[in-house]
């Protein structure tokens, strides 16, 4: 399924967005997010952005105060996922204008909608910023 989940977590370890592509119960989610936050937030800039978990791996990247963490299958291309994260940030940036944690907090549903434009069922379906944002902006007017 490629991408298993996408998380945005701030420096304090609070989840700001969570999108899962397979069903997990609340308890499983809580445990998983706790574990990932413990593992990834402790790492520094000199260390690589890939962390192996049980049977998948996490590719993460930090933008200002926000960590973008993507859980992917083991044979997924790590660098491509990094590019995907960057694309996501750029897209949000273009939409919100200098995006920050608060934008995502107050527009969680919209952020989800953008993600849904880009990823479906764990597969990346759209990589053009214009294509992603057109429906988002159209729907904003209605």
Partner 1 sequence: MSGPSLMDSLFQRTLEDLIKGLRQQLIGEQAFISKALEEIRKEIKSTDLSTKSTALLKLCYLSNLHFHDMSFAAFHALEVLSSPRFSHKKIAYHAISLSFHDSTPVLLLITNHLRKDLTSTNEFEVSLSLQCLSRIANVDLARDLTPEVFTLLSSNKLYVRKRAVAVVLRVFEKYPDSVRVCFKRLVENLENYDPQILSAVVGVFSELACKDPRSYLPLAPEFYKILVDSKSNWISIKVLKIFAKLAPLEPRLANRVVEPICDLMRKTGAKSLLFECVRTVVTSFSEYESAVRLAVEKIREFLVDEDPNLKYLGLHALSIVASKHLWVVSENKEVVIKSLSDPDPNIKIESLRLVMAMVSEHNVAEISKVLVNYALKSDPLFCNEILGSILSTCSRNVYEIIVDFDWYVSLLGEMSRIPHCQMGEEIENQFIDIGLRVKDVRPELVRVARDLLIDPALLGNSFLHRVLSAAAWVSGEYVEFSRNPLEFMEALLQPRTSLLPPSIMAIYIQSAFKVLVFCLHTCFVRGGSTAGVSASASYESFDDLSVENGADSTVAHGQTCTSAPITNESIVNLLKLVELALSPLLGSHDVEVQERARNLLGFVDLIKLEALNSSGQEENDSERKGVEATKIIRLVHDAFSKELGPVSLTAQGKVPVPDGLTLNENLGDLETICGDIELPSSNTFSFGYPSEEKDVSSFSNLQIKEDSGQSNESTSLLAEHRKRHGLYYLPSGKSEVISNDYPPANDPALQGDNNDNASDLVKLTAESLVPKRKPNHSKPRPVVVKLDEVDEKPVAVKQLESRDDSLSGAVRDILFGSEDILPTSSRSNLPNSNRKGKKKQHMITQVESKENVVDDGNSSSRRRKDHSHGKERRHRKKNAEERNETDRKEKESSSNHPRRHKSRQRAEEPLKVPPQTSVIPDFLL
Site map 17..56 versus partner 1, x via CB under 8 A = xx--x-x--x--xx------------xx-xxxxxxx----
Q: How far is the CB of 5 from partner 1 (least distance, A)?
A: 12
Q: How far is the CB of 47 from partner 1 (least distance, A)?
A: 4
Least distance between partner 1 and beta carbon 8 (Å): 10
- By CB under 8 A, residue 15 contacts partner 1: yes
Query: What are the distances in angstroms from CA 31 to CA 28, 36, 42, 67, 96?
Result: 5, 9, 17, 18, 32
């Amino acid at each position: 399924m490629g991408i298993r989940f996408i998380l945005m977590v701030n420096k304090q370890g609070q989840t700001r967005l969570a999108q899962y592509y397979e069903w997990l119960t609340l308890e499983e989610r809580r445990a998983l997010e706790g574990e990932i936050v413990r593992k990834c937030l402790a790492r520094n800039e000199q260390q690589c952005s890939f962390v192996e978990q049980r049977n998948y791996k996490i590719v993460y990247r930090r933008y200002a105060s926000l960590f973008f963490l993507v859980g992917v299958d083991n044979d997924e291309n790590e660098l491509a996922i990094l590019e995907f994260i960057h694309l996501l940030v750029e897209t949000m940036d273009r939409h919100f204008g200098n995006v920050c944690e608060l934008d995502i907090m107050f527009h969680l549903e919209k952020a989800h909608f953008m993600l849904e434009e880009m990823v479906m069922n764990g597969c990346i379906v759209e990589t053009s910023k214009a294509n992603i944002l057109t429906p988002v902006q159209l729907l904003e007017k209605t």
